[in-house]
Amino acid sequence: MFCLPYAGGGASAYTGLLRELTDLTVVPIQLPGRENRIAEPPAFTIHEIADEIAPATDAPYLLYGHSMGARIAFEVARELRRRGLPGPAGLYVGGAHPPHRKVPLAASADLPDDAFIDQLVRRSGALPELKHVPELRELLLPVLRADFAWIKNYRYAPEPPLDCRIVAFTGLDDGEVGAEEMLGWARHTTAGFHLRTLRGGHLFVKDRPADLAALVTADLTGRHAPPEPDEVHLWLDQDSGPASRDRVLRHYDGQATIAVSHADGLTLLAAAAGPEVGAAVLRAGHSATLSPPPHSSPPHPTTALSGSPGETAQRGMAELSAAEREQIEDAAEQDRQWLALRAVAAKRALLAADGQGADPALAGFPDLADPGPWRAQGGPGLDRLARWRVVHLTLHTSRGEALAAVAVPYDRVRLRFDMPAEQAE
């Protein structure tokens, strides 16, 4: 497994993975200008890195890139493909915005030194000593400047998606790149997409190598453990038939609570360790045209929810409270459909989790533009709904954009998401 570092990092960032992944040959790539290559100018090209990896492509290999390294690994995989060489068996990406999206922190590249370092320390987990230790600043600042210049100047060029699976890792405490952002990597593969959430911040590859190694090992061996108490497993399927869904359900039988949602050929399964979970999936473009969910649900532990894009807008909007409809009407015209989609998906997940047949119009969310997690407000007799938190996930499928919502009874949740190969764009 060839590993590419985050901005300012060197091969030593992967010391922990080297120690933990004893059954896998971990090969950190040392970029110029750092550690044992400190005397070289801190500049690199994708062609040079591909040259270094190319001789090893006649045997199965993986690529792992963290933060900036994920974007480098992605481009290396495409460069090797352009050369007609075998691609990686998998692309692992950690803590990184997908390549078609801008990196917000890259804007700090133009700041003066003190402000630049302050942004890195506060937002990306850089060493606080950079602020106060002149020798460390003198050593690392040129590399950080060069790396962030590369990030800022990077321009994504559309090409066909990769034909290897992509596994994305995100830290639960990463304020820069969360699960929602990492899901954008799904559009860059035709071989299946998977998301895993670790405890930790942006630099979990360095700070929590044992946790990351366990997830890599589980991926390579096909082990699928049941969800932990703070975790929800999501599985998205498209028209693969009941046999495929039954295999997933059998895997969790007796080990988790299952919620199921259907919408226009998509099926979303959510599994949680606790006694209750709710899920909903809707196709983008049908925010207010989906039929409302039934007020009765199958017995615990499975809750089913369906949506049909052939229903009228009035029926979909009827699920929302008056305050929610007012928020949508007051929003800019280009935002109304998306806000309605988020509101309807959240409402359906919430009521599926509650399972008591509440009138959806009597429960509401105070700010539909809030990125979330959302907390519901219930009308008379519905105070119990306030215990739920709703998380939204934008999904990229072969049928186009979709939106999932998951309701859980705790403030923070680690998400695991799996989308089979036939799902990815």
Active site residue ranges = 67
Angle between helices 68-82 and 134-153 (to 10 degrees): 50
- If we measure between CA atoms, which residue out of 418, 411, 417, 419 comes closest to residue 229? 411
First-last CA distance in the chain:
25
Tell me the DSSP string of 350-389.
HHHHH-S---GGGEE-S-TT--S-EE-EE-TT-GGGGG-E
**Phi-psi sector, 239: left (phi>0), alpha (psi -120 to 50), beta:** left
Using alpha carbons, list the distances in angstroms from residue 277 to 41, 86, 155, 269.
53, 42, 40, 10
User: Is residue 319 a contact partner of residue 289, using CB atoms and an 8 Å limit?
Assistant: no
CA atoms of 66 and 9, how far apart (whole Å): 10
Q: Two tokens at 337?
A: 């459909």
In b/e form, how buried is each residue of 303-332, taking b as 16+ CB within 10 angstroms? Answer: bbbbbeeeeeeeebbebbbeebbebbeebe
Strands, E assignment, 146-204:
165-171, 193-198
Helix (H, G, I), strand (E, B), or coil: what is residue 91? Answer: strand
Helix (H, G, I), strand (E, B), or coil: what is residue 335? Answer: helix
In which order are the strands placed within the sheet that holds 278-283? 278-283, 400-408, 389-397, 374-375
- 């954009």: which residue's tokens? 401
CA torsion sign for 247, 89, 177, 82 is negative
- 């108490």: which residue's tokens? 229
Alpha-carbon torsion angle 230, 232, 233, 238, nearest 10: -170
Bridge partners (DSSP) of residue 13 are none
- By CB atoms closer than 10 A (0-12, 13-18, 19+), residue 261 is buried
- By CB atoms closer than 10 A (0-12, 13-18, 19+), residue 31 is buried
